[in-house]
Structure 1
Amino acid sequence: MRADRLVSLVLLLRRHGRLSAAALARELEVSTRTVLRDIEALSAAGVPVYAERGRHGGFALLPGFRTELTGLNHDEALALLVAGSRRGAQAFGLGSALASAMLKVVDALPESYRDTAAGAAERLLVDPETDLLSRRLVAEEVPDAIAAEVLRAVFAGHRLRIHYAAVDQAPKWRTVDPIGLVTVRDRGYLLATRSGADRTYRLSRILAAEELAEPARRPERVDLDRAWRERSTRFRTGGDQVTVLVRVDPARREELVSTALAVRAEDTDSDGWLRLEADFQDARHAEWALWQLTTDAEALAPQWLREALHDRAAAIATRYGPSS
Structure 2
Amino acid sequence: MGDVRADRLLSLILLLQNRGRLTAPELAAELEVSVRTVYRDVEALAGSGVPVVADRGPAGGFRLLEGYRTRLTGLTDGQAESLFLAGVPGAARELGLGAELAAAQLKLRAALPAELAERAERVAERFHLDAPGWFRESEPVPQLATLARAVWEQLPARAHYRGWRREGERELWPLGLVLKGGIWYLMALRRRPGEEERQVRGYRVARFTGVRLGDERFERPEGFELAAHWEEFTRRLAAHRFHGVARLRISPRAARLLPMFFGAAGVEAVAAAGPEDGLGWRVVELPVESRAIAVGDLLRLGEDAEVLGPPELRAAVAEAVHGLARRYARETADG
**Retained in 2: the 8 A contact 1:180–1:191?**
yes
Asked whether 1:95 is paired with 2:91, we answer no
Asked whether 1:176 is paired with 2:172, we answer yes
**Retained in 1: the 8 A contact 2:179–2:185?**
yes
CA pair 63-283 structure 1, distance change in 2 beyond 3 A: farther
Distance 1:293 1:115 in 2: 48
Structure-2 residue corresponding to 1:306? 318
Q: Deviations over 1:127-151 (max 9, x none)?
A: 29997xxx6x6433445xx444322
Q: Deviations over 1:231-259 (max 9, x none)?
A: 12222222684543322236634643671
* Structure 2 letter corresponding to 1:177: W
Deviates more, 1:259-268 or 1:306-315: 259-268
Structure-2 residue corresponding to 1:249? 251
Match of 2:222 among 220, 223, 235: 220
Match of 1:86 among 86, 89, 109: 89
Deviation at 1:33, TM superposition (A): 4.1
Contiguous gaps of at least 5 residues in structure 2: 192-197
Deviation at 1:227, TM superposition (A): 1.0
**Retained in 1: the 8 A contact 2:132–2:181?**
no
* Structure 2 letter corresponding to 1:178: P
Distance 2:154 2:24 in 1: 41
CA pair 187-42 structure 1, distance change in 2 beyond 3 A: farther
Asked whether 1:3 is paired with 2:11, we answer no
Match of 2:158 among 150, 158, 161: 161
The structure carrying a bigger helix percent of its residues is 2
Distance 1:316 1:83 in 2: 52
Secondary structure (helix, strand or coil) at the match of 1:214 reads: coil
Structure-2 residue corresponding to 1:108? 111
Deviation at 1:184, TM superposition (A): 0.7
Q: Deviations over 1:176-235 (max 9, x none)?
A: 111111111121111112222443222334444443222235413322222112212222
**Retained in 1: the 8 A contact 2:55–2:61?**
yes
**Retained in 1: the 8 A contact 2:299–2:317?**
no
Deviation at 1:56, TM superposition (A): 3.6
Asked whether 1:21 is paired with 2:33, we answer no
* Structure 2 letter corresponding to 1:123: R
Asked whether 1:67 is paired with 2:70, we answer yes
Structure-2 residue corresponding to 1:140? 139
Distance 2:52 2:237 in 1: 57
Identity of aligned residues (%): 38
Distance 2:218 2:133 in 1: 40
Deviates more, 1:280-289 or 1:291-300: 280-289
Distance 1:165 1:3 in 2: 43
**Retained in 1: the 8 A contact 2:131–2:182?**
no
Match of 2:148 among 146, 151, 162: 151
CA pair 315-193 structure 1, distance change in 2 beyond 3 A: farther
CA pair 77-49 structure 1, distance change in 2 beyond 3 A: same
Q: Deviations over 1:255-298 (max 9, x none)?
A: 43671785899766976744444332344542343233222211
What TM-score do you get using the length of structure 2 for normalisation?
0.76
Structure-2 residue corresponding to 1:190? 186
Contiguous gaps of at least 5 residues in structure 1: none
Q: CA RMSD in A?
A: 3.7
**Retained in 2: the 8 A contact 1:11–1:103?**
yes
Secondary structure (helix, strand or coil) at the match of 2:171 reads: strand
**Retained in 2: the 8 A contact 1:260–1:280?**
no
CA pair 22-243 structure 1, distance change in 2 beyond 3 A: same
CA pair 109-270 structure 1, distance change in 2 beyond 3 A: closer
* Structure 2 letter corresponding to 1:227: H
**Retained in 2: the 8 A contact 1:91–1:141?**
no
Secondary structure (helix, strand or coil) at the match of 1:18 reads: coil
* Structure 1 letter corresponding to 2:180: V
CA pair 313-30 structure 1, distance change in 2 beyond 3 A: farther
Structure-1 residue corresponding to 2:287? 279
* Structure 2 letter corresponding to 1:74: D
